[in-house]
Amino acid sequence: MRPKRTAGFTLIELMIAMVVVAILTAIAIPSYQTYVRQSRRPDAKQGLLDLAAREERYYTVNNTYTGSATALGYATANFPINLGTSMQDYALSVTASSATAYTLQALPLNDQLNDSCGGYQLDNLGNQLNIYPANTAGTTIAGCW
């Protein structure tokens, strides 16, 4: 009579399964992080467009643009204004303001610094640029604006 073989997995089978899971995880986590960064871009764009609308409303009433956050209706007194989730993804600011022109920026913060699009810039003429790497003059990168 032969001894009954116990059911279960061998050590080799368990090691192969662990290697497969590790490979899938190594591929999935960076892809997920890239997807999350891309999903935060519309917040920066919308924040810049909202700030531009506030500048235009201020100009309509006062015949000049302003660099004051409180004059534009924000609760905080100074720029930059943090924008996004509790992680604070972008900082919104008026980088140049005169009676006839303004330049707005949304600069990435924290993990958003790793986004390939970098920051965004918008001026009173509607020119849209990417600022990449952050805080330097940029050009439009396809798929970002």
Tens of each residue's pLDDT in the chain, 145 residues: 676 777 788 899 999 999 999 999 999 998 898 888 888 888 888 889 999 999 999 999 999 999 888 998 888 877 888 765 555 888 888 887 888 999 999 888 888 888 888 888 899 998 888 887 645 555 666 677 7
Residue 57 lies in a domain: yes
56 inside domain: yes
Per-residue confidence (pLDDT) for residue 21, from 0 to 100: 95
> What is the SS3 assignment for 103?
strand
In a domain, 55, yes or no: yes
Which pLDDT belongs to residue 115? 85
What integer pLDDT is reported at residue 89 of this predicted model? 85
Asked whether residue 112 is assigned to any structural domain, the reply reads yes
Domain count along the chain: 1
Give the CA distances from residue 145 to residues 2, 82, 105, 128, in Å, rounded to whole numbers and listed in that order. 72, 20, 13, 7
Residue 138 has what pLDDT? 56
Tokens standing for residue 84: 């996004």
The pTM of this model reads 0.74
Q: Is residue 46 part of a domain?
A: yes
Residue 9 maps to a domain: no
The answer to whether position 108 is within a domain reads: yes
Q: Is residue 73 part of a domain?
A: yes
3-state helix vs strand vs coil in the chain, percent to 5: 40, 20, 40
Structural domain boundaries, residue 100: 41-131
